[in-house]
Amino acid sequence: MTQLLTVTDISKAFGGNQVLKSVTFSLQKGEILGLLGPNGSGKSTLLNAISGFTRVDSGSVSVGEARIDHLPPHRIIQAGIARTFQLPAMPAKMTVMEVVMAAGTRHHGIWNGLLSLPSGRRAEREDSQKASQLLETLLLSKVRNLPAAALSGGQKKLLGIACALMGEPEILMLDEPMAGVHPQLRQELVATLQMLSQQGISLIIIEHDMHFIKSLCQRCIVLDRGHIVASCHPDDLSKNQDVLDAYLGR
């Protein structure tokens, strides 16, 4: 398998709090990787570091051969990495459809906008079709004209995924996608993520729901106080003493 994302020896401290300690792992093309660990173990910080929202103190992050750890978040999106947030914030006045459209970038060229160039109008039409399709896939078509801020917590998570997919990423990183999602929507979310994987998108998923992890992931890495203490098949997690110790706080 091709190595798509390579994280090498990254460390990050906030003041005296050493949150990531020499974290090294890689993601293969087409893989669905679970990122586990107790609260406060550094999972979200690791996603922030990869997606450029947090600068690492040392180490490197590469997509293929290209280093991305010095790039700002929008350039990392252009390099093919999208992410969602643990607690998605939505603009107060925009509708669901407008939020997804704003996540598309192709029709934003200033000349296209000012001059209403045909190429800009075509790109906008294509973005609009793509946005409608994503809302359909993520079961948000019925609420497309509602204010995004009015959605339930779970629907906001789904909208966050739709926005992330507008950039047609190679890698999608999800921070606790199931938390707050209505049980009836959960199976749909699993099916959607499986479909994305079949389309060739590689996934990194932070999630506490073990049923969800087992139904999706081929491999998990487990963080404990900033260290990776295990990398194994989800079925082997419960036999791994380091994993048990991490969750029992030993």
Q: Return the one option of ligand ADP, Mg ion, none that residue 39 interacts with (CB less than 5 to 8 A, by type).
A: ligand ADP
Any contact of residue 112 with Mg ion (CB under 5 A)? no
CA distances from 76 to 50, 61, 146, 244 (A): 8, 11, 30, 35
Kindly state whether residue 184 participates in binding ligand ADP, applying the rule CB under 6 A: no
Secondary element (H or E) of residue 125: helix 118-137
DSSP strands (E only) in the chain: 3-14, 17-28, 32-36, 58-63, 66-67, 81-83, 171-175, 202-206, 219-224, 227-232
What is the DSSP code (8-state) at residue 123? Answer: H
By beta-carbon proximity to ligand ADP, the closer residue of 55 and 74 is: 55
Least distance (Å) between residue 51 CB and ligand ADP: 13
Question: What CA–CA distance (Å, rounded) separates 5 from 27?
Answer: 5
Site string for ligand ADP, 2-31 (x = CB under 6 A): ------------x--x-x------------
Judged by beta carbon, residue 40 or residue 153, the one nearer ligand ADP is 40
The minimum distance between CB 40 and Mg ion, in angstroms, equals: 8
Question: What is the binding site for ligand ADP (CB under 6 A)?
Answer: 14, 17, 19, 37, 39-45
Question: What is the binding site for Mg ion (CB under 5 A)?
Answer: 43-44, 86
